[in-house]
Structure 1
Amino acid sequence: MSISDEALEAIVSHTPRAYPHECCGLLLGEGTTITRAQPTANVHPDPSRYFEIDPHALIAAHKAARGGGPQVIGYYHSHPTGDPTPSATDRASAAHDGRVWAIVAGREVRFFRDGEEGFVALSYAVAPR
């Protein structure tokens, strides 16, 4: 998997702006290449402990993809006081749909595929613009 340096920086820079809440957003691109990270509102009632991507943003991204825009490859969120690995809450709420999840803590980002058997760590390369 690869991610553009611009998308990776968008994820990392979103985290402190949301602190002490969890930030969240969409990973957009084609195939196994993430070209853009789109920040979204965290609409969960308890955003300091959980995240829920704004459904309006998610629907708009899927509509844009059907119209020829970048595909929704997955999602990202932060763990403001934890580490960048799937939490028990992440594992319980995962759809097991094969999407990519990026989890960020501080400036560290790790990527996982949410498959039928649970989360699997992914290696990635950062591609310059």
Structure 2
Amino acid sequence: MLEISSAALQRIVADAAVDPTRERCGILFGGDDRIVDASLCANVAADPTRTFEIDPVALFAALRAERAGGATIVGYWHSHPSGDVRPSATDAAMAVPDGKIWLIVSGVTVGMWRAGNQPGAVRFDAIPYQVGEVM
């Protein structure tokens, strides 16, 4: 069972509500079976009403910090204006089968997924989760 801190989840839901017509996005930090924090990143996609692309400057900064002993990147989050928290065909096309967590939010509904391998495609497996005060 994956656990996400209530503070991280509240930050994600609040940011997604800023403009529910556009996909919002960010990075998830934590460790084995837990998400302790979430960053809010600019969506630099050509059409943010239909897809997301985490600002590469923010992503590379998080990767550099992780390599230097900082917070571990466990996945990514984004919002879906459509109301569906399942990964879209576009999500599957851009995903890397690296086992990272994908948190998708629409309104106050949240889905958690893990990007895994399937011959010829990226498959997302649903992850059960609970909200807590992860430290």
Aligning the two structures, in what range does the TM-score lie when normalised by the shorter sequence? over 0.9
> Which amino acid letter does the alignment assign opposite residue 16 of structure 1?
A
Q: Note the alpha carbon deviations across 1:72-109, whole angstroms, 9 max, x for none.
A: 10000011123100111111111111100000011011
- The whole-number CA distance in structure 1 between the counterparts of 2:38 and 2:44 is 18
Q: Say whether 1:43 aligns with 2:44.
A: yes
2:9 aligns with 8
- Residue 40 of structure 2 aligns to a residue whose secondary structure is strand
Task: Report the aligned-residue RMSD.
Answer: 1.1
Helix, strand or coil at the partner of 1:97? coil
Q: Which amino acid aligns with 2:90?
A: T
The answer for the alignment partner of 1:77 in structure 2 is 78
TM-score norm. by structure 2 comes to 0.91
State the 1:18 CA deviation: 3.0
Unpaired segments ≥5 residues, structure 1? none
Secondary structure of the corresponding residue to residue 28 of structure 2? strand
The count of aligned residue pairs is: 129
Aligned to 1:122: 127
Query: Structure 1 residue 125: deviation in Å?
Result: 1.5
The normalised TM-score by structure 1 is 0.95
Large movers: runs of 4+ above 3 Å: none
Preserved CA contact (<8 Å) 2:83 2:107: no
- Equivalent residue number for residue 61 of structure 2: 60
Aligned residue for 2:112, secondary structure, equals strand
State percent identity of aligned pairs. Answer: 47
Structure 2 unmatched ranges of 5 or more: none
